[in-house]
Structure 1
């Protein structure tokens, strides 16, 4: 969005007709959302995507529901685009609803036209194209979301993970995070991600990375799992709680091991109590 500094008269939105009598001094600072948020850092709760050997996992941070809120009809941050494609987002829920609807319509249209499901890269390019279009059209603003798009191509067991940004840029990843504290979570994933992780390791890494920013445990974490030829699976809270308990147990054991293997003062005490070498005995 372009910010104006008006010395006199008036001006209308970019791309529309301005009064000929108005004298404006245009000051272009940066391209931002109308709410003042840079295009590269949309707001919202954290979302994580992790690829394993033959699995891809999405994890999202959920906000705590209000006391009178009906959680059964509260929109999820993880959306199914097609039977083999799912999407997680960070940012404005209303914008995500529109973008997801467009992606679903394109996936259905593609299947009816060419009689084949969309590839993950194709639907990613489409979503990124829609986002980019809204950055250069007059009278509209960019979409206030970033997305993680995951799934499996038809007749292919290779997991796919892509990210799209509000500017329209898209890229492929092995693991990535978007939204709140995404830099911290991404650094954690860089240190701990391994190639060819199995199902349990992939889910566990996803939960563990979200615990870097989520302090309230399993009740504020949402996990979806996709495998080739299978529908998207949403893990129940009970299963997520088991992973959280296992991770907390491992952290406690690691802390105990560090304390046990590095007793304060041991090295100094050993030096002070070491018997002196016996010198030659006096005759």
Structure 2
């Protein structure tokens, strides 16, 4: 009898389902930040990684970016265990589609599949909603147009030019809105992804991972050395702008006014 109550989709337990769905939104809001940015012929995913503990083996630490097929990647914010299950389901669907139809999935198709799985878990008995939000990026077969989608725990999905999920995503999204341009090349797109992440990542290069996708090419994961160089250059630019603002903020008449005041007070004495 208890089992029947727990699996009911209506009645007293329906309010619990709503509570679970609201609770599923919480982990991805506090999960590490992930960013997706589209350029002219490139799409970039950037993720903040949590710092590894001193005795942790970093070789088997799960990545925040997963390859679903050769032409499509997924990044997530939220519960790692939930992401692992969802990524496995999406990979299986992509392989099944390629085997049965002899064609790779389109980016929108696999996004709809991921969102559909998330939505079903909001209303199925005996399970809880997925506590993650995802960014799905890639290129359709024969197309040079980059694709970027977001899915939410409720099952909603939407297309974006640039977006952020996870901790402080509102701050990062506002930064992207101010700095995004339509005709960005590869370098500009990568730099914007780095700059947006560095709005919230305080520990620098060691906690950032970047994936770059271009049409007809395998996904490129930036090595640590390249990430360190990007972060170093961007931090130097920030320091240069701060120094420039400080110089511009000084009033050239302040020095003259101080000398004049000193001379005037000396005459009075």
**TM-score category of the 2 structures, normalised to the smaller one:** 0.7 to 0.9
Name the one with the larger helix percent.
2
Aligned 1:8-157 pairs, distance under 5 A:
12-15=5-8, 28=15, 31-33=18-20, 36-38=23-25, 42-157=29-144
C-alpha displacement at 1:212, in angstroms?
A: 1.0
Shift of 1:106: 0.6
Q: What is the CA-CA distance between 1:152 and the residue it aligns to?
A: 0.2
2:12 and 2:91 mapped to 1: Cα distance? Answer: 43
1:165 and 2:143 correspond: no
Which residue matches 1:235?
A: 222
Answer yes or no: is 1:205 the counterpart of 2:198.
no
**TM-score, scaled to structure 1:** 0.84
Residue 169 (structure 2) aligns with:
182
Scaled by the length of structure 2, the TM-score of the pair is 0.88
> Structure 1: which 5+ runs fail to align?
1-8, 18-23, 274-283
Shift in alpha-carbon separation, 1:259–1:164, aligned structure 2, 3 A: same
The alpha carbon displacement at 1:264 in A equals 3.1
SS in 1 for 2:231: helix
- Determine if contact 2:21/2:154 at 8 Å carries over to the other structure: no
Q: Select the residue among 218, 221, 235 that pairs with 2:205.
A: 218
- Structure 1 or 2, whichever has the larger Rg, is 1
Tell me how large the CA RMSD over aligned residues is. Answer: 2.7
Structure 2: give runs of 5+ residues left out of the alignment: 261-269
Q: Whose RCO is larger (CA < 8 A, sep 6+)? A: 2
2: CA distance, partners of 1:31 / 1:252: 47
Partners in 1 of 2:28 and 2:167 — Cα distance?
9
